[in-house]
Amino acid sequence: MEIVVGTQQELGQARLLQMDRYRYRVFVDTLGWELACDPGRERDQFDHDETLYVLAFNDQEQVIGTARVLPTNQRYLLAEVFPQLMGDQTLPCDSRIWELSRFSAMDFGLAGRTSGGQFSSVVATQLLDAVLRCAAARGVRQLITVSPLGIERLLRRAGYRARRAAAPVRVGDHWLFACWIDVPTQACTIGEVTDAADYRSIHRAA
């Protein structure tokens, strides 16, 4: 598995198209989210030039995991779409607090893949470790994310320091909550993480 980190410009149009199509397949086709997006491609107002992406690729260079991170002193999903999930707590607005969104680790190429939501495989742990490593390297102290209730148990079982920001809220057919995830002060031990520019140079002939 290869983890690639970069902005839209650094990833390039081909990999952005892969990501958009993968996100549509995960969040619209599989999870049934009602999102305002073009058919077959999922992106929103929080996908812009300063957004940072962490993508996982398999040996066939197919996307098997995605994550989107933004500092909370910019526009971000929780603040604009789900502010009620913070309850009486103040919405974060701090360059040292990032929002993690559009997180998924589904490998559609695996035969017999079980349906466990967007946090359903060992890829998820490596992908989240990569996000934490990126965050730690940039001086980030915490992540905040909008999560379904089932993710809470999985995060704790995997050993992450995660906790609710407030009580869960029913949104449509789903119970959601704002989840804090502490960023370790030391870099996580994970597989190789490649900057997008380096990845393109290595695989330029592909």
pLDDT in tens, 105-156: 988 877 544 444 544 468 889 999 999 999 999 999 999 999 988 888 888 8
For the chain, the domains span 2-202
pTM of the model: 0.84
pLDDT of res. 158: 85
What is the architecture of the domain spanning 2-202?
3-Layer(aba) Sandwich (3.40)
CB 106 within 8 A of CB 120: yes
pLDDT value, residue 34: 84
Mean pLDDT to the nearest integer, 164-190: 84
Do the strands 2-6 and 52-57 form a parallel or antiparallel pair, or are they unpaired? antiparallel
Indicate the pLDDT class of residue 201, thresholds 50, 70 and 90.
very low
Instruction: Say whether pLDDT at 13 is over 80.
Output: yes
